Amino acid sequence: MINFNVPPYTGKEMEYIRQCVENQKICGDGSFTKKCNEWIEHKTDTAKCLMTTSCTHALELAALLAEIKPGDEVILPAYTFVSTADAFVLRGAVPVFVDIRPDTMNIDENLIEAAITDKTKAIAPVHYAGVSCEMDKIMEIAEKYHLTVIEDAAQGIMSSYKGHALGTIGDFGAFSFHETKNFSMGEGGALLIRDEKHIEDAEIIREKGTNRSKFFRGQIDKYTWVNFGSSYLPSEMNVAYLYAQLEIADEITDHRLDCWNRYYERLKPLADAGKIELPVVPEGCVHNAHMFYIKAADLEQRSAFIQFMKENGIMCVFHYIPLHTAPAGLKYGRFHGEDKYTTKESERLVRLPMFYKLTLEQVDHICDKVIEFFKG
């Protein structure tokens, strides 16, 4: 059987976790957290990275830093994971969903401006499959209307747009290190901060509203409660697990790209014959092979395909019920404009197995089965 996902494991994780335990340093912000922060800051070239307990929490932290208030509106794609909306709903804001582009499944940058009202405070683009949104256009709109940009780059570590790492273009960016992502710590994430002016506030909110980070750096002689806050720092043991993967991040990414490219080459003839559609990576976007998906003709064909693959021992999945059609989406948000592609494309998309230890032989076998189904 070929699973849809296998969590990344490089072999060094247990040794690093053992070090935490033996050094009696298992709570947050120890040496592995420092190493991960610095690794990400260096790799993405951003002012600050703060490890968090999840991408969801990194987005919540960003919503607090952006001072999102009850009644504010935040523009985001209708096709995304719930966390993109939750972070703002928790602040009392209204998520305003707009349609996606059928080629990348990302927010249609040309529909954003029409969704802006005098209540709009932020735009939250989501880089689906680690392929960037049209950030030049989004940043231009944000500047014109003085909006904060919070990038949901949950799937976007190691990807870039015109040479800039995803998560570093907007005011804030959020990575996920969930078990299903390219690099993992079980549950975890990171907040990326572009402007230094936000660093101190972010450190305080992340540490229960205290100035403990400053205290640890020796900048003050005691720490105290200085603002509202929560606890968004992960345990050292989780971060130690992640660090083993960051050390070989290029190798992991290259391997995923090899699998992605093999899928693409092998399935291209099916796409050329009009039987399926393949992912599109626009010019200027470098992606991280977070996922490989295909699109069937419609919902019915997709269901039959998933069943056929399952019978052949290959687990394929779909995801994201468009948020504006979900119970909470109906309750808290609204859709602006016409749902031309979100629902239609979401019903056609299916993800094929993709993980670090997937072999090219397995990819070939999966492709054989995909071809068998769509030719039949």
Angle at 216 between CA 212 and CA 218, to 5 degrees: 115
The residue (of 56 and 213) whose beta carbon lies closer to ligand PLP is: 56
Q: At closest approach, how far in Å is the CB of 182 from ligand PLP?
A: 11
Question: Is position 100 an interface residue for ligand PLP (rule: CB under 6 A)?
Answer: no
Considering only CA atoms, give the Rg of the chain.
21
Question: Is position 73 an interface residue for ligand PLP (rule: CB under 6 A)?
Answer: no
Question: Is position 80 an interface residue for ligand PLP (rule: CB under 6 A)?
Answer: yes
Question: Is position 126 an interface residue for ligand PLP (rule: CB under 6 A)?
Answer: yes
φ and ψ of 166, to 5 deg: -65, 145
Q: Site map for ligand PLP, 34-63, x if CB under 6 A?
A: --------------------xxx-------
Q: At closest approach, how far in Å is the CB of 75 from ligand PLP?
A: 15
Residue pair 62/39 in contact (Cβ under 8 Å)? The answer is: no
Cα(178)–Cα(216) distance, integer angstroms: 28
Site stretch for ligand PLP (CB under 6 A), options 75-83, 158-166, 258-266, 328-336: 75-83
Q: What residues does 52 pair with on adjacent strands?
A: 189
Q: What residues does 349 pair with on adjacent strands?
A: 295
Q: List binders of ligand PLP among 178-207 (CB under 6 A).
A: 178, 189
Cα(36)–Cα(38) distance, integer angstroms: 5
Q: List binders of ligand PLP among 202-231 (CB under 6 A).
A: none
Closest to 113 in 3D by CA, of 88, 135, 145: 145
Question: Is position 158 an interface residue for ligand PLP (rule: CB under 6 A)?
Answer: no
Question: Is position 155 an interface residue for ligand PLP (rule: CB under 6 A)?
Answer: yes
Token look-up 């990344």 returns: 8
> What letter does residue 198 receive in the DSSP assignment?
G
Q: Summarize as ranges the residues that interact with ligand PLP (CB under 6 A).
A: 54-56, 80-81, 83-84, 126, 152, 154-155, 176, 178, 189
